[in-house]
């Protein structure tokens, strides 16, 4: 897909694609890379909207200088201090010594922590609802605490109705890579794994920004959104309310020698035979764990199948459940399949783990396999499938 980064004559995309990073934030697989977005607003005063990761400094600087065409920036707007956006603040400030740095009162301490240079004399500190005039363009700032750091702020440009949304509405994937799944899958994986814990804060931001007339969303990662904005905002509303997005069920399993896997696959077959519209199944050890977290949130029902290991859960299942707890998994129906050769314990551990989550309904039927699934286990699986309906 060709990069669609044209915003307007005055607002220029100067971000960079990173297609060589092994793991974004040292944990997320990004087979299509990631983009570090940055923008320049050209008016009587010139504003640069965020910097980029230090992996992309040279290319970003070249893009910015091309957009500036010999002029100097008046402001660097710092909407987020995470190093994938803020790594070049000190370098850029040194390069343009007359440039002001637009921050809020939570940003300033972080700048001092990340950079051993005192930039405080150059701060323009903005508060909720305050504006910065650039000429015919005007930026109004809205605080977005915990979406997904405390200092994050959005900027709304009134004349072109552009929302600079920081991490919100971001997506994995470089801009010049074609994503055959469109926006939603990788935006969902990004959302639940990176922002997912902070649903209440996202809800607050959606309510606050809901009054604005937005024509374009410029996030810090992923494509610039120009059409059908109600679709993206609607998904963010569903996700941040922890409501299931799709009618389906997800079977997630961790299996040592393949016997728990056989049971999980049989379970999926039974669910399909009973008419479940969508049955997703994943081997937690072999599929992208963060995609599994995404699927757990995507559907309203989840069956976890785990081998018993050291009198507890199979480690990858434990990790999966840990991620669900960390991301505030809630409002779902869950069922368990355990396997054990001498003392099955996985279901007990799963029940304990899920009991601390909000509004989780646990199916009464537990399928307890001894070593290998047998015909005699099918009845319990049928019962669990009926209960999960
Ligand atoms: Fe893309 Fe929270 O940084």
Query: pLDDT per residue over 351-383, tens digit each?
Result: 999 999 999 999 999 999 999 999 999 999 999
Asked if residue 53 has its Cβ within 6 Å of ligand 1, the reply is no
pLDDT at 348 over 60: yes
CA distances from 375 to 262, 263, 372, 382 (A): 12, 11, 10, 11
Q: Does residue 5 fall inside a structural domain?
A: no
Compute, in angstroms, the gap from residue 148 CA to the centroid of ligand 1.
7
Q: What is the mean pLDDT of the chain?
A: 97
- Over range 97-118, report the average pLDDT: 97
**Letter string b/e over residues 33-59, b meaning 16 or more CB atoms within 10 A of that residue's CB:** bbbbbbbbbbbeebbbbbbbbebbbeb
Q: Label residue 303 by pLDDT band (50, 70, 90).
A: very high
Residue keyed to tokens 């005192």: 118
CB-count exposure of residue 288 (10 Å: 0-12, 13-18, 19+): middle
Classify 96 as helix, strand or coil: coil
pLDDT for the residue numbered 19: 97
Domain boundary, last residue among 240, 262, 296: 240
Q: Is the CB of 7 under 6 A from ligand 1?
A: no
Domain presence at residue 6:
no
In a domain, 212, yes or no: yes
180 CA to centre of ligand 1 in angstroms? 24
pLDDT of residue 245: 97
Report the domain count for the chain.
2
Residue 95 and residue 182 share a domain:
yes
Enumerate long-range contacts of 167-170, CB under 8 Å, 24 or more apart.
167/80, 167/82, 167/194, 167/195, 167/219, 167/220, 167/221, 168/144, 168/195, 168/202, 168/205, 168/219, 168/236, 169/217, 169/219, 169/222, 169/225, 169/232, 169/236, 170/194, 170/219, 170/220, 170/221, 170/222
Asked if 256 and 230 sit in the same domain, the reply is: no
pLDDT band at 242 (very low <50, low <70, confident <90, very high): very high
Q: Is the CB of 166 under 6 A from ligand 1?
A: no
66: pLDDT strictly greater than 80: yes
Q: Which of 240, 257, 278 is the last residue of a domain?
A: 240
For residue 204, give every residue at least 6 positions away whose Cβ sits within 8 Å of its Cβ, in sequence order, or none.
none
Is-cis flag, bond preceding 170, omega within 30? no
- Is 279 inside a domain boundary? yes
| Max CA pair span of the chain | 77
Report the CATH number that the domain containing residue 18 is assigned in CATH: 3.60.15.10
β-strands 246-254, 279-283 pairing = parallel
Taking CA atoms only, the protein residue closest to ligand 1 atom 3 is: 82
For residues 242 and 278, give the distance between their C-alpha atoms in angstroms, rounded to a whole number.
Answer: 19
- The backbone region for 242, taken as left when phi is positive above 0, alpha when psi lies in -120 to 50, beta otherwise, is left
- Quote the CA–CA distance of 250 and 295 in Å, as a whole number: 7
- Residue 185 CA to ligand 1 center (angstroms) comes to 18
One domain for residues 153 and 49:
yes
Residue-wise pLDDT tens digits, 4-41:
788 999 999 999 999 999 999 999 999 999 999 999 99
Together in a domain, 45 and 184: yes
Residue 301, SS3 per DSSP: strand
Q: Is residue 82 part of a domain?
A: yes
Q: Is the CB of 151 under 6 A from ligand 1?
A: no
157 lines ligand 1 (CB under 6 A): no
Q: Is 80 in the pocket of ligand 1 (CB under 6 A)?
A: yes
For ligand 1, say whether the CB of 82 is within 6 Å of any of its atoms.
yes
The alpha carbon of 186 and the centre of ligand 1 are apart by a number of angstroms equal to 15
Are 25 and 56 within one domain?
yes
Q: pLDDT value at position 114?
A: 98
Give the torsion through C-alpha atoms of 360, 29, 171, 33, to 10 deg: -170
- The rounded Å distance from CA 244 to ligand 1 centre is 25
CA 139 – ligand 1 centroid, Å: 21
My answer on whether 212 and 287 are in the same domain is no
Distance (Å) of CA 71 to CA 48, 66, 67, 153, 157: 12, 10, 9, 26, 21
333 lines ligand 1 (CB under 6 A): no
Asked whether residue 215 falls in the same domain as residue 290, the answer is: no
| 121 and 259 together in one domain | no
Strand partners, 275: none
Q: What angle do CA 310, 360, 264 make, to 5 degrees?
A: 50
Beta bridge partners of 36: 16
Position 167 in a domain: yes
Q: How confident is the model at residue 56 (pLDDT cuts 50, 70, 90)?
A: very high
DSSP structural state of residue 225: B
Check pocket membership of 301 for ligand 1, CB cut-off 6 A. Answer: no
378 and 256 in a common domain? yes
Task: Compute the distance from residue 213 Cα to the ligand 1 centre, in Å.
Answer: 25
Residue 2, pLDDT score? 43
Instruction: Give the range of the structural domain holding residue 110, as residue numbers without chain letter.
Output: 11-240
Choose the final residue of a domain: 240, 273, 298. Answer: 240
82 CA to middle of ligand 1, Å? 5
Q: Is 235 exposed, middle or buried (0-12, 13-18, 19+ CB in 10 A)?
A: middle
Q: If pLDDT is split at 50, 70 and 90, which confidence band does 3 have? A: low
Task: Identify the CATH number of the domain in which residue 281 sits.
Answer: 3.40.50.360
C-beta 221 within 6 A of ligand 1 = yes
């Amino acid at each position: 897909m060709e990069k669609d980064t044209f915003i307007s004559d005055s607002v220029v995309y100067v971000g960079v694609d990173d297609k060589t990073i092994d793991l974004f934030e040292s944990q997320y697989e990004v087979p299509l890379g990631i983009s570090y977005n940055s923008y320049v607003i050209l008016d009587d005063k010139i504003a640069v909207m965020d910097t980029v990761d230090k992996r992309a400094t040279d290319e970003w600087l070249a893009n910015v200088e091309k957009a500036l065409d010999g002029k100097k920036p008046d402001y660097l707007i710092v909407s987020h201090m995470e190093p994938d956006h803020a790594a070049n603040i000190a370098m850029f400030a040194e390069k343009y010594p007359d440039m002001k740095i637009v921050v809020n009162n939570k940003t300033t301490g972080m700048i001092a922590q990340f950079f051993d240079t005192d930039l405080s004399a150059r701060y323009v500190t903005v508060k909720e609802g305050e504006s910065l005039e650039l000429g015919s363009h005007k930026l109004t700032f809205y605080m977005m605490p915990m979406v997904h750091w405390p200092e994050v702020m959005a900027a709304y440009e009134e004349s072109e109705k552009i929302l600079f949304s920081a991490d919100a509405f971001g997506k994995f994937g470089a801009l010049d890579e074609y994503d055959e799944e469109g926006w939603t899958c990788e935006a969902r994986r990004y959302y639940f794994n990176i922002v997912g814990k902070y649903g209440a804060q996202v809800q607050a931001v959606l309510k606050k920004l809901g009054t604005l007339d937005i024509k374009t969303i410029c996030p810090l990662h992923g494509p610039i959104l120009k059409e059908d904005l109600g679709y993206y905002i609607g998904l963010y509303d569903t996700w941040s309310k922890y409501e299931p997005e799709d009618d389906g069920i997800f079977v997630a399993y961790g299996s040592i020698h393949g016997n728990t896997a056989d049971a999980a696959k049989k379970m999926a077959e039974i669910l399909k035979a009973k008419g479940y519209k969508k049955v997703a199944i994943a081997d937690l050890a072999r599929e992208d764990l963060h995609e599994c977290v995404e699927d757990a949130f995507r559907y309203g029902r989840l069956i976890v199948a785990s081998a018993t290991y050291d009198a507890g859960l199979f480690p990858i299942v434990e990790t999966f459940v840990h991620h669900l707890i960390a991301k505030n998994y809630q409002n779902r129906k869950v069922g368990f399949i355990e396997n054990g050769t001498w003392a099955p314990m996985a279901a007990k551990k799963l029940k304990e783990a899920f009991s601390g989550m909000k509004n989780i309904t646990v199916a009464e039927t537990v399928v307890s396999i001894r070593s290998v699934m047998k015909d005699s286990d099918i009845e319990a699986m049928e019962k669990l499938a009926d209960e999960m309906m």
